[in-house]
Amino acid sequence: MDKLRITGGKTLRGRVAVAGAKNAALPALAATLLTGDRVELHNLPRVRDVRTMLRVLAQLGAQAEARPDGGADVRVDRIESFEAPYDLVKTMRASVLVLGPLLARHGRARVSLPGGCALGERPIDLHIEALRKLGAEITLQHGYVEAKARRLRGGRYDFRTKTVTGTENLMMAATLAEGTTILGNCAREPEVIDLARLLGAMGASIHGAGSDEITIEGRERLHGARHRVIPDRIEAGTYLVAGALIGDPVEVTGCDVEAMRPIVRQLEAAGVAIAVEGDALRAGVPAKLTGQDLRTAPHPGYPTDMQAQYMTLMTQAAGTSVVTETVFEHRFMHVGELLRMGADIRIQGRSCVVVGPSRLTGAQVMATDLRASACLVLAALAADGVSVLDRVYHLDRGYEAMEEKLRTLGAEVERIR
Ligand code: EPU
């Protein structure tokens, strides 16, 4: 299993370009199931989750051709299987995004239930309840969601909890339903808006993406389209935190500045000065980094996917900060590893009390999930001495060429196989 060996304390300087957003690329790939025409996707990040989604699609009968720019042309003119099997879904929960499109265009879907994960229980009950509301017959058997519908019927559904992939699944399903669907209490993430943009380009009628209520008028069919996936705000934010920890400075180019406001606001509140120039954001070690409380929340709140990285930053801030996680119940798996590197953190229910600044020292640490790995990489960059990060495959799921990008900035990072 690959590991990363990082020698900490090297100042980072220079520029990195942000990749396409993983969490926008995955629903965009699933949306190709809604038409028999070719969908041209650009700016897909070169990460393992995208390759996994392409495998899921291939299993269903999609023909995908890689583009030299990292994108892909996908065409699903014939479905060969209706099943997203356990082996794939267990490695990537987002496989559940094929449920809505398969059911809407092909009338049938069999998708493995993802089960729990390092972030908590993470059920998909709302996806199922909402699809039933559109007339799907759904049973849960042998660990699978089995769904059938002759043609979905538009209707109104209000999500009890905001769910990103739930909103996306339902938006896709409703594009081919008969009549109008109104979805209430929708997720407002930039990735939801990006999917609506793609669906619109495919001929769907969607209004309100980015607000709480989305209205979709069903169409008989959708057609091919060309779409460029938005930049990854979490990847960009991760490099900004690297800049704030040990940068002189670090510049991240190709950002969606608007989508990054909640992250930028929080970093600035802690004392990090962030310069914005066009689509580039720049951060260096601030004159004074101060402990600042954080509460994660659905967009436009501060993203849970940037919570672990922020916690690493807070270990270097003067004073106490309370980091509260409101989206996932168990998203503190990184704390134990940060403690091994010398951090002072106490878990209290859904919050962590971080006391800083503490001197971090290199250690052997283990990644438990994607964003936890990123926070450990950040800690290793700021620490004295050498760290070895095990289970790098978590990082490879969502960060394109992270060690190369870090090396460009002057970090001492190598992959050990
Ligand atoms: N929830 C339910 N029932 C449902 C669906 C969700 O109770 O049917 C709960 C979840 O358990 C959680 C909350 O609702 O407590 C929000 O979860 P959500 O459904 O929004 O998460 P997701 O759609 O499964 C996406 C991202 C995650 C990101 C979350 C929150 C993708 C592919 N994944 O997951 O990204 O953390 O939204 O913003 O878009 C990551 O990239 O590292 C990652 C985990």
Same domain, 213 and 312: no
**180-220 per-position pLDDT tens digit:** 999 999 999 999 999 999 999 999 999 999 999 999 999 99
pTM surpassing 0.95?
A: yes
- Measured in Å, how far apart are the chain's first and last C-alpha atoms? 6
pLDDT classification of 121: cutoffs 50, 70, 90: confident
Same domain, 273 and 383: yes
pLDDT higher than threshold 80 for residue 340:
yes
Among the three residues 194, 228, 262, which one is the final residue of a domain in this structure? 228
Pocket of ligand 1 from Cβ distances under 6 Å: 23, 26, 93-94, 122-127, 161, 163-166, 187, 191, 303-305, 327-328, 370-371, 398
Average pLDDT taken over every residue of the chain: 96
Quick check: helix, strand or coil at residue 185?
coil
Ligand 1 centroid distance, CA of 122 (Å): 7
CA distances from 291 to 191, 303, 342, 354 (A): 30, 18, 17, 8
Pocket test for ligand 1, best of 165, 302, 393 (most atoms within 8 A of CB): 165
Ligand 1 centroid distance, CA of 164 (Å): 6
Domain count, the chain: 2
The per-residue pLDDT for 120 is 76
Q: Quick one: average pLDDT of 12-34? A: 98
Q: Quick one: average pLDDT of 405-415? A: 98
Share of the chain above pLDDT 90, in %: 94
pLDDT classification of 329: cutoffs 50, 70, 90: confident
pLDDT classification of 376: cutoffs 50, 70, 90: very high
Active site residue 117: yes
Same domain, 7 and 130: no
pLDDT higher than threshold 90 for residue 92:
yes
> What's the CA gap between 154 and 151, in Å, rounded?
10
**135-162 per-position pLDDT tens digit:** 999 999 999 999 999 999 999 999 999 9
pLDDT higher than threshold 90 for residue 415:
yes
pLDDT higher than threshold 80 for residue 34:
yes
Same domain, 197 and 286: no
pLDDT higher than threshold 90 for residue 68:
no
Same domain, 197 and 269: no
> What's the CA gap between 170 and 181, in Å, rounded?
9
Same domain, 8 and 94: no
CATH of the domain at 150: 3.65.10.10
Same domain, 245 and 208: no
Among the three residues 190, 209, 228, which one is the final residue of a domain in this structure? 228
Per the CB < 8 A criterion, the answer to whether 409 and 13 are in contact is: yes
What is the radius of gyration, based on Cα positions, of the chain? 21
pLDDT higher than threshold 90 for residue 44:
yes
**274-299 per-position pLDDT tens digit:** 999 999 999 999 999 999 999 999 99
Same domain, 12 and 26: no
Range of the domain at 198: 22-228
pLDDT higher than threshold 90 for residue 163:
yes
The per-residue pLDDT for 133 is 97
